[in-house]
Amino acid sequence: MKRIASSHLFVAVGLLAASAVASAQSEGAPESERRALPPPFASPPLPSGEYQGYPLVGVPPAPVDSPFMSWLHGTSFGDLLERNRIQAYGWLNASMNVSQAHDSNAPTSYWIAANRPMLNQALLRVERQVDSAQTDHVDWGFRSTLLYGSDYRFMTAGGWFSDQLLRHNNLYGFDATEQYLDVYTPDFGEGTIVRVGRWIACPDIETQFAPDNFMGTHSLLFTFDTYTQTGLMVTTMLDKQWSVQAGIHAGTDMAPWYEGAVPTGMAGVRWVSLDNGDSVYLVLNAINNAKFQRFTVDGQPAGHDNYNYLVGTWQHKIDETLQTRTESYFMWQRDAVVGGTPSLGPTRYYGGGGGLGADIPGTTLTYGAVNYTVLQTSDRDYVTLRNEVWRDEDGARSGFAGTYTSHAIGLTHNFSPWFQVRPEVGYYRNWNRPAFDLGRRRGIVLAGFDVTLRF
């Protein structure tokens, strides 16, 4: 109960504080002009018009013309939100897949239960975007994102309602995925944002949230990456091309009050070419002693991953409709266990559970690269080709050592700004041993689609 109470307190204090400051500052303020380079891509139909970067400085707040906000428009409550630049919106995301697996598509992610429909994400977000384009005053913002669905298990961080997965291995659950406050000052560099709370880790091509991702499924590289961090992060824009970041957090997917938490540094640099054709984003996402965190829960051996790693993305705009993005990371951890962070819950048909894996003495390495090539075919559609190679030397991340490859192609069609369908098909393989469907198959063909309805 202590962890849950801490989470509720953080959210409540954050929302009240940021809303109060917003009320005092935003009414009647003129619209800010963008100081960063122009967005290189068309969004919609693409999930974002920006190169990888988070948070971006020099970019004005983007209005979310959601059905919910439109419904509130003209009401006293809606006017109150609009005056204070506060937006509320969300989405429902569900999927259906078919594969050669009997039970589990793991170690792929998101479409984890084989040959079954799934409610992946039911999400509600309330936010006030910080205005980092203006240069005449300090500004505040916040975001609170609450998620329910099967995807919670990939967002789970120790201490953030984590018993649902780490003790019980539930297929469906709740997660407070983003809970942060932003403070912007124009007086340091060309603008600086200080973020405190829980945020999505930088700088991946893929993202946790369905509408922001190019495809319904994810690469193996992303599946076994960091999802969220809780702490403090500082982002400074040096000029239109360069930004730098530094921060301290509680470790990979851990809250500061979690038993396995360990002080962890991070640092990053982002560059965009002056012609807006290329961007490089390099982040030392976690640096500490890299030792797997061991402890007991109710007398049972438990623990949590504490890998360190360097990750980078290179993005290239080929023309107005075609782009390519490549991401790679190198990850290391000492005295880890097979399968990584354990769930102490029962073993389920979709995977997970069973407690701590076998010890791996010494240092274990995980590394790989993924490429996304995206072709916009109309103002409502784009096609995505994803290819990757990924190596888990000792099975510390996936539970099955070996070299993996995956190749997938998908189509995204937006029937409207609020209704999206994404069919896709892919082939995933471990070239050294059976790894898929709970260790029964070396590879699987996975096909399906997901549907996103925004509100």
Pairwise CA distance, residues 114 & 435, whole Å: 14
Higher pLDDT, 277 or 74: 277
Task: State the average pLDDT over residues 403-426.
Answer: 98
Pairwise CA distance, residues 77 & 208, whole Å: 30
| pLDDT at res. 65 | 82
Please give the C-alpha separations between residue 260 and each of 137, 159, 166, 303, 338, in angstroms, as whole numbers.
39, 9, 13, 7, 18
Least confident among 62-71, 269-278, 282-291:
62-71
CATH code at 155?
2.40.160.10
Task: State the average pLDDT over residues 259-276.
Answer: 98
Q: Which two tokens stand for residue 361?
A: 């003495």
pLDDT tens profile 140-168:
999 999 999 999 999 999 999 999 999 99
Q: Does position 26 have pLDDT exceeding 70, yes or no?
A: no
Q: Which two tokens stand for residue 246?
A: 């530094």
Least confident among 70-79, 145-154, 240-249, 420-429:
70-79
Pairwise CA distance, residues 161 & 163, whole Å: 6
Beta carbons within 8 Å of 153's beta carbon, 6+ residues apart: 112, 165, 170, 171, 173, 352
DSSP 236: E
Q: Phi and psi at residue 274, in whole multiples of 5°?
A: -65, -30
| pLDDT at res. 21 | 42
| pLDDT at res. 90 | 98
What share of the chain has pLDDT > 90, as a percent? Answer: 89
Q: Which candidate, 285, 264, 277, places its Cα nearest to that of 329?
A: 285
| pLDDT at res. 31 | 74
Task: State the average pLDDT over residues 405-418.
Answer: 97
| pLDDT at res. 7 | 42
Q: Phi and psi at residue 330, in whole multiples of 5°?
A: -130, 120
Pairwise CA distance, residues 249 & 140, whole Å: 21
Contact 304, 260 (CB under 8 A): yes
Looking at the chain, the number of H-run helices and the number of E-run strands are 7, 18
64: confidence class by pLDDT, cuts 50, 70, 90: confident
Q: Does position 12 have pLDDT exceeding 50, yes or no?
A: no
| pLDDT at res. 377 | 98
Kindly report the three-state secondary structure assignment for every residue of 184-200: EECCCCCCEEEEEEEEE
27: confidence class by pLDDT, cuts 50, 70, 90: very low
Alpha helical stretches, state H, 84-201 = 152-155, 163-166
In sequence order, what are the beta bridge partners of 12? none
Fill in the amino acid letter for 241: Q
pLDDT tens profile 179-231:
999 999 999 999 999 999 999 999 999 999 999 999 999 999 999 999 999 99
Pairwise CA distance, residues 28 & 212, whole Å: 31
Pairwise CA distance, residues 332 & 330, whole Å: 7
Q: Does position 4 have pLDDT exceeding 50, yes or no?
A: no
442: confidence class by pLDDT, cuts 50, 70, 90: very high
Task: State the average pLDDT over residues 114-129.
Answer: 98
Cis check for the bond before 107: say yes or no (omega within 30 of 0).
Answer: yes
Task: State the average pLDDT over residues 346-352.
Answer: 97
| pLDDT at res. 32 | 86
Contact 127, 142 (CB under 8 A): yes
Task: State the average pLDDT over residues 286-291.
Answer: 98
- Calculated CA dihedral for residues 120, 123, 128, 133, nearest 10 degrees: 20
Task: State the average pLDDT over residues 412-421.
Answer: 97
Q: Which candidate, 57, 7, 288, places its Cα nearest to that of 189?
A: 57
Task: State the average pLDDT over residues 47-70.
Answer: 93
Q: How many separate domains does the chain show?
A: 1
Q: Which candidate, 196, 102, 201, places its Cα nearest to that of 154?
A: 201
| pLDDT at res. 25 | 45
146 CB neighbour count, 10 Å cutoff: 17
Q: Phi and psi at residue 53, in whole multiples of 5°?
A: 170, 140
Higher pLDDT, 7 or 258: 258
| Cα 238 to chain centroid, rounded | 25
30: confidence class by pLDDT, cuts 50, 70, 90: low
Using the CB atoms, write b or e for 415-440: b if 16+ within 10 Å: eeebebebebbbebbbeeeebbbbbe
DSSP 95: E
Cα-Cα end-to-end distance for the chain: 32
Task: State the average pLDDT over residues 335-363.
Answer: 97
The H or E element containing residue 286 is strand 278-287
240 CB burial (10 A radius; 0-12, 13-18, 19+): middle
pLDDT tens profile 223-250:
999 999 999 999 999 999 999 999 999 9
Kindly report the three-state secondary structure assignment for every residue of 388-413: EEEEECCCCCCCCCEEEEEEEEEEEE
pLDDT tens profile 365-389:
999 999 999 999 999 999 999 999 9
Q: Does position 13 have pLDDT exceeding 70, yes or no?
A: no
Coil, strand or helix at 133? coil
DSSP 25: H
Q: Which domain holds residue 354?
A: 2-454
- Calculated CA dihedral for residues 206, 211, 216, 219, nearest 10 degrees: 0
Pairwise CA distance, residues 201 & 208, whole Å: 10
Mean pLDDT for all residues in the chain: 93
Scanning the structure block, which residue is given the tokens 């075609």?
A: 322
| pLDDT at res. 29 | 52
